[in-house]
């Protein structure tokens, strides 16, 4: 499975063009880092690890570009809390 990508977004659509999965992220810190603000997976795909793969795509991009990620959405935060291998790209919220 290969995700489509455009700035700030990795996603999947079905054969009819309907959005069935996505993760969105924004530049923060004047473009130096990312914040993951949303993940979505259609019920027809749940339980297949798609959301985790979407978050991983942003992690891979952050590593490739030398950025850190602040995971704001609940799912992304859970991924960072449970995957020690993401520690290298974790950006804690300011003031923490």
All structural domains of the chain with their residue ranges: 4-89
With beta carbons less than 8 A apart as the criterion, state whether 10 and 54 touch.
yes
Instruction: Please say if the pLDDT value at position 41 is more than 70.
Output: yes
* Residue pair 53/46 in contact by the 8 Å Cβ criterion: no
In 3D, which of 90, 92, 66, 95 has the Cα closest to residue 80?
90
Topology given in CATH for the domain delimited by 4-89: Aminopeptidase (3.40.630)
CA distance 9 to 24: 5
What is the per-residue pLDDT for 92? 78
pLDDT, position 95: 59
CB 74, CB 40: distance < 8 Å: no
Characterize 72-89 residue by residue with b for buried, 16 or more Cβ atoms within 10 angstroms of its Cβ, and e for exposed: ebebbeebbeeeeebeeb
pTM of the model: 0.93
Quick one: pLDDT at residue 1?
75
């Amino acid at each position: 499975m290969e995700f489509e990508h455009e700035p700030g977004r990795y996603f999947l659509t079905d054969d009819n063009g309907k959005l069935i999965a996505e993760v969105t992220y924004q530049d923060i810190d004047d473009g130096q880092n990312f914040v993951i603000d949303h993940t979505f997976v259609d019920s027809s795909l749940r339980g297949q690890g798609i959301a985790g793969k979407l978050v991983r795509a942003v992690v891979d991009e952050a590593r490739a570009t030398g950025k850190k990620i602040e995971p704001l959405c609940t799912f992304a935060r859970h991924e960072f809390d449970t995957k020690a291998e993401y520690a290298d790209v974790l950006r804690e919220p300011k003031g923490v």
